[in-house]
Amino acid sequence: MKKSEVPQDDGFLKEEHGRELNYAVGEDGKYTTALSSGWDAKTIALNNALERIEERIADAKQRVLDNKTSPIEYFMEFCRMDVPVLSSYMGLWQWRVKRHFKPSVFRKLSEKTLKKYADVFEIDVAQLKNFDPNS
């Protein structure tokens, strides 16, 4: 797109971050940079993604309250991680992290493992062990 065509729509970027750097074709036909305050299509996509993330967090929260999963899954979603990312931070196989989602397995985890999860999620072990849906 030409530098003069870089979108300047109001949206998420303008509200939260000011401007975004984009590449565009300048008057001389070479690539250059241009600032954009937003683009409606990008704003819609970001809003949809954020809504989906909030739904996943709410679903994980309810699953913890229903004793169908452990708080590990909730905090993973809350921190916008997935199993591969969490297993990477933990230094564990993905199947082991998934196993820790089982409430019966979670209750048997060592303090050392719980501490490591808490550190990854930047919370206290007490928050992990005593899940409070209002926090």
Q: What is the pLDDT of residues 8-33, one digit of tens each?
A: 666 655 555 667 777 788 888 888 88
In this prediction, residue 14 carries a pLDDT of: 54
Q: In which residue ranges of the chain is pLDDT below 70?
A: 3-18, 37-39, 135
Q: Any idea what DSSP says for residue 4?
A: G
Please report the domains of the chain, with CATH numbers, ordered by start residue. 3-38 (no CATH), 53-129 (1.10.260)
Q: What is the pLDDT of residue 7?
A: 60
Q: What's the Cα-to-Cα distance from 110 to each of 18, 91, 107, 115, 129, rounded to whole Å?
A: 45, 15, 9, 9, 11
pTM of the model: 0.76
CA 128 from chain center: how many Å? 18
Residues 92-117 as b or e (16 or more Cβ within 10 Å = b):
beeeebbebbebeebeebeeebbebb
